[in-house]
Structure 1
Amino acid sequence: MLQSPAAANRPTQPVLTTIYLALGSNLGDREALLNEAIERLRVEQIETVRRSTIIETAAAYVLDQPHFLNMVIEAQTEHFAFELLNRIQKVETEMGRQKTIDKGPRNIDIDILHFDELTLQTPHLTLPHPLIHERPFVLIPLAELRTGLYPKK
């Protein structure tokens, strides 16, 4: 059977994109929630390749709240950037995330730090994440996985 040139040039395997996600939690069993989030991301076809060490940090921005556990994962996904955002928000919602206070306490927070080398600025998604350079709770675990990755400011 002959294939059309367009069909012949389509990849037979899904194209996987390397991404970096920041995960944080400061309510409930924080470490268990981080692990649950990673498992739920896997179900959404976001496969963890490597995990940073989990670090505990004081809250930033809104200071009167419990300390956070933070980590970064390197993962691979077939999803495009906006579909990835939708899947992440789905995981947060399914885990009971409620946005009552901006930058306030939360049981789970998942941010897209990098989506391969994509640079993007829209009202709903900016890549790389625009605040990486001012967040040690992201920079430290990110540097453990890949140095020189965060944007230069």
Structure 2
Amino acid sequence: MTGARRVLLALGSNLGDRAAHLSRAVDALGDEVTAVSEVYETAPVGGPDQGPYLNAVVALRTDRPARDLLARAHELEAAAERVRLERWGPRTLDVDVLWIDGEEVDEPDLVVPHPRMFERAFVLVPLADVAPDLVPADGPPAEGVVRWGSLASDGPVAP
């Protein structure tokens, strides 16, 4: 074990009760959670025609190795009954390992830092809520990223 460090996970959902899928995933992460971003609604990026996503970023303090974090992400997705039919297709829950302080991984099925995290407003906007030190000042514009609410309030923000 390398000692506890900050880990950042991205959560997204566009099928079923999107907020409930995100909420259950955060709850399942337990006492390792140190912060949860606001929830943002965004249009899908790539893939087939599909509905909008709710996105959030969760900060953890953990000593879990990268492989264990990936396995945990897959467990959370399975608990939400995610079905993988096509790349970038709609999903009940998507969990990505974005960042592990002091660690880089470059393997076929796991790359940390996430290779596209700094290109995606749907990641950078919620990331700024929990890890502003990682968000570049010249990141992509936040166009199309709408604050939806928080998991604590379990509901959308009034327009």
TM-score surpassing 0.5? Answer: yes
Amino acid at match of 2:132: T
Let me know the Cα RMSD of the aligned residues. 2.1
Q: How many residues align?
A: 138
Counterparts of 1:1-153 in structure 2 under 5 Å?
A: 15-42=3-30, 47-62=32-47, 64-150=49-135
Q: Note the C-alpha offset of 1:78.
A: 2.5
Distance between the aligned counterparts of 2:135 and 2:85, measured in 1?
A: 29
Q: Which runs of 4+ in 1 moved over 6 A?
A: none
Secondary structure at the aligned position of 1:76 is classed as strand
Query: Once the 2 structures are TM-superposed, how far is the Cα of residue 134 of structure 1 from its aligned partner?
Result: 1.4
Q: For residues 140 and 63 of structure 1, what CA distance do their matches in structure 2 show? A: 23
Quote the sequence identity (%).
38
Residues 73-129 of structure 1, C-alpha deviation per residue, up to 9 Å, x if partnerless? 111222111111111111211221111010010000000100112112111211100
Partners of 2:102 and 2:57 in 1: CA distance: 17
Conserved 8 A contact 1:132-1:150: no
Deviation for aligned residue 1:148: 3.6
More strand by share: 2
Using the TM superposition, give the Cα deviation of residue 150 of structure 1 relative to its aligned residue in structure 2, in angstroms: 4.9
Structure 2 CA distance, aligned partners of 1:81 and 1:150? 21
Higher Rg of the two aligned structures: 1
- Residues 150 and 120 of structure 1: is their aligned pair in 2 closer, same or farther, counting only changes over 3 Å? farther
Gaps in structure 2 of 5+ consecutive residues: 140-159
Consecutive unaligned residues of structure 1, counting only runs of 5 or more, are 1-10
State whether residues 23 and 70 of structure 1, in contact with CA within 8 Å, keep that contact through their aligned partners in structure 2. yes
> For each residue in 1:32-65, what CA deviation from the matched residue of structure 2 results, as whole angstroms up to 9, or x when unmatched?
11000111222xxx72101111000001012510
SS at match of 1:138: helix
SS state of the match for residue 74, structure 1? strand
Tell me the secondary structure at the aligned position of residue 89 of structure 1: helix
